[in-house]
Structure 1
Amino acid sequence: MEEINQSGIINKSLWDQDRFRSLEDIDVSADGTPVLRFLISATYSIVCAVGLVGNLLVLFFIKVRQERRKSKINFFILNLAATDLQFVLTLPFWAVDTALDFSWPFGDAMCKIVLSVTVMNMYASVFFLTAMSITRYWSVASALKDRTRKRSCSVRWVCMALWVLATAATAPTAIFSTVTSVEGEKLCLLKFPEGHHWLALYHLQKILIAFVIPMVIVSISYLMLVRLIRRCSMKNNSRRITQVTKSVTIVVLSFFLCWMPNHAITFWGVLVKFNAVYFDKTYYMVHTYVFPVTVCLAHANSCLNPIIYCLMRKEFRTKLRALISCK
């Protein structure tokens, strides 16, 4: 069987035994050290707390104050906040799982539900970020033209389609996630059939659909947006150009920096699985100590989203100051 848990920690017994014949000098007792587990659990807890506050504020400003009616971007932000909120609600389960040395105490049904919700919201969050980049460019391009195109897809139908796509991409997780007994411990794992490199194909899907393709689309959309504004704006709008350029840079960099390390090490693991790269001590140590940190960094993106897309916008900062003043 091919097995991996949510944090990417792979036990030595879960790999092909011949891969470890030349790795007998590796100190496996250090795998899952209490300090590392504590740091991961603490990070999950902080991300959960900050993400709850940030995304609830976004939902309050857009849903309660009816801001979603003013633009398509706000409707995407509403869905992004909803999916990020669902995502951070799964982090307490993973914090407990990590603190217990990846021993899952919540049963098989909750393993399947929590792992599926985690992965589904990862896909949905990336999809909404991508849709927002396209919508922002299309809105500016339409506004700069003499006429606005009357025919456009309903943002509600687009969001519904993105949720369906995220659910479809999560199907392998929902099918293969289960609680498995490994060396006397019950672990919440993705358990794939033997052969056909299921685990490598699963990771390739995640890398391509949740990072490479969205990153290309986001980058192209924002580069086209900056180019369009620079070409069409008047000289006295240089301040606006600077603001948009800064916003675009922060959006692309935050998305890239949060997800790139995780997907880079994941791709390294895919190469190892396909025997394109030899499994050595370096990979083992990176996957044991560095990869969990990259998982935390990727999860932190759910905290950054409300900050980037709302608190950087003047109208949201004004409403937040007004809310604080009332309190």
Structure 2
Amino acid sequence: MTNENGSSWWNRSSVELFRYDNLEDIDLTADGSPILRFLVCLVYSVVCAVGLMGNLLVLFFIRVRKERKKSKVNFFVLNLAVTDFGFVLTLPFWAVDTALDFSWPFGDAMCKIILSVTVMNMYASVFFLTAMSVTRYWCVASALRNRNGGRSCSVKWISAGIWTLATLATAPTAIYSTVSNVTGEKLCLLRFPGGQYWLALYHIQKIVVGFVVPMCIVSVSYIMLLRFIHTRSLTSSNPRRRSKLTRSVTIVVLSFFLCWMPNHAITLWSVLVKLNAVHWDRAYYTVHTYVFPVTVCLAHTNSCLNPIIYCLMRKEFRGKLRGLIHRGGE
């Protein structure tokens, strides 16, 4: 999610999302109500607090307590915690921006930095979730086949590749993000020299690279995993284990889909409007003014759900957390 999908998203429902070519001609008085802005700020604050706490616990258990056990999945979990931790650190900036009615107070340099960090960590988080799904299938399938998986790529090289891809996907944001003066207000947003069509391509990249392709890979990986374990005689003797794995897989896929799909669906609608495939109408305005901020908040919550899903739901991590709490209470 970008904060072109973040704080500026909401304001941009009156700016770039409505197909205006000249930003100076926009009337920004039609933004959402102060109550809605307050609720968005509140959600950002809660997500930031929960995300910081959850991801710090993950980093503590995996890195400080040396709980990696040479696990490929745990190494990706570690990187996922780093990306989500960096992502939630940007939320206070967007909360202030929202509270000030989307008037960016931090200057042009911070606009580029915060917007780029937000986008890069969004891509990295999705990519690591995808890598974890593929790795989980490969590890379980190899174990049930009594194989060691053969020769495989180092997780460190895969992680380096993921960070490289996330950086490349973020390049347009880093180049074209800027603070623009719109009707006397300083807004942190994207200004492409090619106008609305380049912005539409940018959104298409975000939808395809940041959601459609990863969602397909995650879904196929987990479907193959469930099909594999259900056809193995080893799991048939342990229905409880099979049920727990099925439930955890369902939670992973549903949380990823439900957190991101609404936002990307509305973003796709805006792309169709920019490309004149769909007409601008009152429904479009209403959705972007009142529904879109809710989808932004929902997408942000994925960064605090990830540590809960991938770590705190695992028995070994819950045991470590209970031990930490007991020692802290002594």
TM-score range, shorter chain: over 0.9
User: In the alignment, does 2:309 pair up with 1:308?
Assistant: yes
**Residue by residue, what CA displacement relative to the aligned partner does 1:132-174 show, whole Å, maximum 9, x if unpaired?**
0000000011111243233110001000100000000000000
Cα offset, 1:70, TM superposition: 3.4
AA of the residue aligned to 2:273: V
Which residue of structure 1 lines up, in the alignment, with residue 260 of structure 2? 259
Which residue of structure 2 lines up, in the alignment, with residue 319 of structure 1? 320
> 245-254 or 36-45: which moved more?
36-45
TM-score, normalised to structure 1, is 0.93
**CA-based RMSD:** 1.9
Cα offset, 1:33, TM superposition: 1.7
Mapping of 1:266-285 within 5 angstroms?
Answer: 266-285=267-286
Aligned mates of 2:121, 2:86 — CA distance in 1 = 7
Q: Which runs of 5+ in 2 are unaligned?
A: 22-26
Q: Which runs of 5+ in 1 are unaligned?
A: 19-26
Aligned mates of 2:226, 2:5 — CA distance in 1 = 41
Cα offset, 1:32, TM superposition: 2.9
Which residue of structure 2 lines up, in the alignment, with residue 59 of structure 1? 59
Mapping of 1:12-161 within 5 angstroms?
Answer: 12=14, 14=16, 15-16=18-19, 29-161=29-161
AA of the residue aligned to 2:271: V
Q: Is the 8 A contact 2:235 2:242 kept in 1?
A: no
Which residue of structure 2 lines up, in the alignment, with residue 249 of structure 1? 250
Pick closer, same or farther for the CA change 1:222–1:5 going to 2, 3 Å: closer
Aligned mates of 1:308, 1:219 — CA distance in 2 = 16
TM-score, normalised to structure 2, is 0.93
User: In the alignment, does 2:155 pair up with 1:165?
Assistant: no
**Residue by residue, what CA displacement relative to the aligned partner does 1:60-98 show, whole Å, maximum 9, x if unpaired?**
000011112331110000000000000000000000000
**Residue by residue, what CA displacement relative to the aligned partner does 1:23-62 show, whole Å, maximum 9, x if unpaired?**
xxxx974423211111111110100000000000000000
Q: Is the 8 A contact 1:32 1:101 kept in 2?
A: no
Aligned mates of 2:283, 2:13 — CA distance in 1 = 16
Cα offset, 1:194, TM superposition: 3.4
Q: Is the 8 A contact 1:6 1:189 kept in 2?
A: no
Which residue of structure 1 lines up, in the alignment, with residue 24 of structure 2? none
SS of alignment partner, residue 321 of structure 2:
helix
* Equivalent residues, number: 318
Q: Is the 8 A contact 1:4 1:191 kept in 2?
A: no
SS of alignment partner, residue 133 of structure 1:
helix
